[in-house]
Amino acid sequence: MSFPPARRKPRIGLVAGGLGAYWPQFPTLLPQLQESSRYVSQRFSEMDAEVTDVGFISDAQEGAAAAEQLRRADCDLIVLFLTTYLTASMVLPIAQRANSPVLVIDLQPTEKMDHASFGTGEWLAYCGQCPVPEVGNVFRRAGIPFRSVSGWLRQESAWARIEQWISAAHVRAALRHARHGLMGHLYPGMLDVSTDLTLLPSTFGSHVEVLEFDDLRARVEKVTDDEVAERMALAREVFTLDASVQDEDFAWGARVSVGLDRLVDDFELDSLAYYHRGLDGEQHERLGAGMILGASLLTARGIPATGEFELRTTVAQLASQVIGAGGSFCEIQALNFEDDVVEMGHDGPAHLSVSARDPLLRGLGVYHGKRGWGVSVEFDVQHGPVTLLGLGQDADGGLSFIASEGTSVPGPLLEIGNTTTRIDFGRDPGEWVDDWSATGVGHHWSLSVGHRAGTYRAAASLLGIDYREV
């Protein structure tokens, strides 16, 4: 099997600063603040990101020079470390000229001052919070989104909030540079799935590659019998095969899987959304029916591959995947008012790495509401905290992240080749459905592991789109 292309790590710009007028007045202050700055820089160097540290600024001229360096670095997020009081004129050019979202952090040296021994110079090392409202005011007046994390230098809860913004930068980096494949045509009548293809490049900077099923057909035709046997052997390692799986369908799914890998490699895709209706067993219908095995293997490797032409949901799945939360394709299946759970999932591709058990391959004679047959994936998402992430589109065309946190719980599941999960949202399931549907989410979304709403909220902020939570 091939592997997904190496995605660009998020680029983080880092600059620390304080008011230079203090340095001659309090000779020990600057060295203390620079030591704090080195600690912050070290923490950032340990994160999974490319960090451009432009050092310490003391006046507006140095701030302008830092802005130019950060502009050239093409950052996904710029972090301004306010070590003591500084003027907004020192940092506004950075936010204006670097063309990147900005996070302000102010981390005083310890939990509290020693009031009995501190003088003015010692106090000023704890004064990073002082300019935060000033910067917030000026950013708002300049039309710049304001974000901040306040705390103390070694406060792990503050660093957890900072790292949440770094995770959000992973999403921004992935979506800015993603190449999304769109193959086939819209499932007839699914108006909520329809997406303006120009909207993804204009909102995120990503690319949509429009593909034909013939692009897949030509590659599947070149797959050898040895490659099919190798892929079937891999599938036997990954899946438990149900007795309902027909050898002919299994071999065909393996052949299509190898062809899908080549398609993804040739077009350098980060995601793939597809659908083809077909008729009377013709070749394109057979391709569509053979997609699920290969699409699930692709999704498990970090390249979401989703049926029903669901471009927006593959974007949501990619966002889930790059923060390590999986991301399986799902919709509402039923409500259980006795256990107060919502059952959700889908027939088709699934993110195998978040399964609660060995995923099962089940043979199907028919998919619900779709022409086709073959093998499908069946499992339950890992039990514990989960978060839904959908990508909505509004009347004005604007995109939004829509999220809801719940808990995946054990219980009876249908055995029909679906990726069914029982989710407890801590409330009446019917009321949850009403509120979820009112967000404009559409009827598919990504199901990710862990409580991730805070990260998705931060990612929406960095991407410049709306965020809604149920």
Number of Cβ within a 10 Å radius of residue 20? 17
b/e 73-96 (16+ beta carbons within 10 angstroms → b): bebbbbbbbbbbbbbbebbbbbbe
Specify the pairing of strand 271-275 against strand 179-184. Answer: parallel
The phi, psi pair for 68, rounded to 5°, reads: -70, -40
- Is domain 11-175 annotated with CATH 3.30.2130.10? no
Q: Dump pLDDT digits (tens) for 113-150.
A: 999 999 999 999 999 999 999 999 999 999 999 999 99
Q: Between 3.30.1050, 1.10.760, 3.20.14, 3.90.320, what CATH number should domain 178-469 receive?
A: 3.20.14
3-class SS of residue 467: strand
Return all residues near 95 (Cβ < 8 A) that are at least 6 apart.
78, 102, 139, 142, 144
Under 8 Å CB-to-CB from 304, ≥6 apart: which residues?
Answer: 271, 272, 298, 313, 314, 317, 318, 321, 327, 329, 349, 351, 446
Q: How far apart are the first and last CA of the chain?
A: 39
What's the whole-model pTM score? 0.91
pLDDT the model gives residue 2: 44
* φ, ψ of residue 168 in degrees (nearest 5): -60, -35
Domains of the chain, by residue range, sit at 11-175, 178-469
- Tokens matching residue 6: 């190496």
Q: Give residue 411's Cα distance to chain centre.
A: 29
Length of the chain: 470
pLDDT 10s digits, 325-376: 988 888 898 999 999 999 988 776 667 767 766 777 777 655 544 445 567 7
Q: What is the mean pLDDT of the chain?
A: 90
Structure tokens at 244: 């309902």
User: Which candidate, 124, 126, 122, places its Cα nearest to that of 109?
Assistant: 126
Cβ atoms of 392 and 446 within 8 Å: the answer is no
**What are the backbone angles phi and psi of residue 217, rounded to the nearest 5°?**
-55, -45
- Cα–Cα distance measured from residue 381 to residue 448, given in angstroms and rounded to the nearest whole number: 9
What pLDDT score does 365 carry? Answer: 58
Instruction: Give the C-alpha separation, 39 to 163, whole Å.
Output: 15
| Cβ atoms of residues 344 and 333 within 8 Å | yes
Place of tokens 């095969």: 241
Cα–Cα nearest to 55, from 75, 33, 72, 76: 33
**pLDDT given at position 5:** 53
Q: Is 337 exposed, middle or buried (0-12, 13-18, 19+ CB in 10 A)?
A: exposed
Residue 191 in tokens: 């108006």
**Residue 259's CB: how many other CB atoms inside 10 A?**
24
The answer to whether 447 and 386 have CB atoms below 8 angstroms apart is: yes
CB of 101 closer than 8 Å to CB of 462 = yes
Identify the pLDDT of residue 417.
Answer: 61
pLDDT along the chain (470 residues), means of 10: 65 96 96 95 92 96 96 96 96 94 96 94 94 96 96 96 96 95 89 87 94 95 96 88 84 94 96 85 83 88 89 94 89 93 79 71 60 65 92 92 95 75 95 95 92 97 96
Give the pair of three-digit tokens for residue 389.
Answer: 């992430």
Tally Cβ neighbours within 10 Å of residue 232: 18
- CA dist., res. 45 & res. 42, Å (int): 5
CA pair distance 196, 209, nearest whole angstrom: 13
